[in-house]
Structure 1
Amino acid sequence: MENCCELCGRMTGLTRHHLIPKRVHRSESIRAKFSKEVLNQRIAKLCKACHRHVHRTLKERELAVQFHSVELLREHPDIQAFVDWLKDKPDDFSPRLSRRKRK
């Protein structure tokens, strides 16, 4: 489905999530690992709630090195739990923000 979130599957407004955050594109270690094309093309369509949760849960470097695909994001326990909770909510449901989860 074209208009559904790649994490939770809800049909709602989508945002573009750079799976390898743009802020780390200039890092030598990231450039050695990924081609310029890959850096610019790895984009996921996420609902605002999932996008916000991903960035509240993981640091940009973690996203680039360990969680640079939708499949890898789904394997993260905190994101998996959030998606499992959110996927059955109505499409117009927007969760309230809680404190940052990053450690």
Structure 2
Amino acid sequence: MLVSVLSAGALAGCTVSASSNLTVPGSDISDSAAGALEEQIGIRPEMDCGDDQVDLVDGTVVDCVLTDPSTGSTFDAPVTISGVDGSEYRVSVEVADTPRE
């Protein structure tokens, strides 16, 4: 499953790293990815993309874990950032076909 959504990052939630890239907390990526999936499937899954700051750079992949709210099963769900324009960006989520062990 591949899902994309335009997610506007709030500048207040962004920081500038030493490399001059804007960054957002992993929790912002989790929220964006969960929202994208909710729009596609009608159910908001729990997403965990960690607590680290994430560079807002086209092509950045964040290793996330999706928890299915109806079964509790967890799935690998890498999120790719694209279309970065300042603090605005899109996320694409690819959810694994089989649960994690």
TM-score norm. by structure 1 comes to 0.29
Q: Name the larger-Rg structure.
A: 1
Greater share of helix: 1
TM-score (norm 2): 0.29
User: Which one has a larger percent strand, Structure 1 or Structure 2?
Assistant: 2
